[in-house]
Amino acid sequence: MAHPLQLGFQDAASPVMEELVHFHDHALMVVFLISTLVLYVIVAMISTKLTNKFILDSQEIEIIWTVLPAVILILIALPSLRILYLMDEINDPHLTIKAVGHQWYWSYEYTDYEDLGFDSYMVPTQDLAPGQFRLLEADHRMVVPVESPLRVLVTAEDVLHSWAVPALGVKMDAVPGRLNQTAFITSRPGIFYGQCSEICGANHSFMPIVVEAVPLEHFETWSSLMLEDA
């Protein structure tokens, strides 16, 4: 969960998000080193009147400042491509959930069950219980088992939406007439919040996403109760 004055990412709750955080730190360190070098060169050029003819016309230096940026770009590109392919990897999911975006709420269908589905609306401010978050709490949470490979099929019924949960490292556009898919594994129990991340109309800010990760036995109990109520 994000908090005021937070400078970094939310605590990672999936292996992919952990990789994304590590890659961010790696890239940020490269940017920091480059910025420091450029700043040093600028200050040195301004503060000294000394010149060196070997620096003004040197083939060796030209080779260095051509090859070095290429090496740096490779050091950034290779981890980036690795994570990109990891995010697209879907291997034998234990559970498939279909998330459908509407104006302005989400509906979820657990396709492995015969009749398990529900709509998820934002809880109005006046109905919030103590400790619940304004604009982020939903009346029905998407409950998933922890440490299980999950697949989410994302689509929309009316306009463009985007199903995004930052702590899980998941963001997938919901396009009418198109079925996109993404996957994640929750590495710990908890409640993870997200919001629609595509401007979709007047109430775009009022369609939160709440994913609750619970142990497998609790998930089975919850699904049994939901099926009985249906």
CATH of the domain at 216: 2.60.40.420
The token pair at 51 is 């010149």
pLDDT of residue 56: 67
80 with 124, same domain: the answer is no
99 with 81, same domain: the answer is no
128 with 73, same domain: the answer is no
pLDDT for residue 98 is more than 90: yes
Question: Is residue 8 in some structural domain?
Answer: no
Q: Within its chain, how far is the Cα of 12 from the centroid?
A: 9
Question: Is residue 112 in some structural domain?
Answer: yes
* pLDDT tier at 168, thresholds 50, 70, 90: very high
Contact 174, 162 (CB under 8 A): yes
113 with 183, same domain: the answer is yes
DSSP character at residue 226: H
Structure pTM?
Answer: 0.85
135 lies in which domain range? Answer: 95-229
62 with 164, same domain: the answer is no
Question: Is residue 25 in some structural domain?
Answer: yes
- Give me the mean pLDDT over the 98-102 stretch: 96
- Listed residues 71, 88, 105: the one ending a domain: 88
109 with 73, same domain: the answer is no
148 with 79, same domain: the answer is no
- Listed residues 88, 122, 150: the one ending a domain: 88
Question: Is residue 10 in some structural domain?
Answer: no
d(CA 203, CA 226): 28
80 with 100, same domain: the answer is no
The token pair at 12 is 């990672």
Contact 161, 171 (CB under 8 A): no
Which CATH number does the domain housing residue 57 bear? Answer: 1.10.287.90
Question: Is residue 1 in some structural domain?
Answer: no
Question: Is residue 4 in some structural domain?
Answer: no
DSSP character at residue 112: T
pLDDT in tens, 2-19: 788 888 898 999 999 999
User: What percentage of the chain reaches a pLDDT higher than 70?
Assistant: 97
pLDDT for residue 58 is more than 80: no
Q: What is the residue-averaged pLDDT of the chain?
A: 91
Question: Is residue 63 in some structural domain?
Answer: yes
50 with 130, same domain: the answer is no
101 with 83, same domain: the answer is no
pLDDT for residue 159 is more than 80: yes
Q: How many domains does the chain have?
A: 2
pLDDT for residue 55 is more than 80: no
d(CA 135, CA 124): 8
- Listed residues 32, 56, 88: the one ending a domain: 88
109 with 49, same domain: the answer is no
pLDDT of residue 50: 74
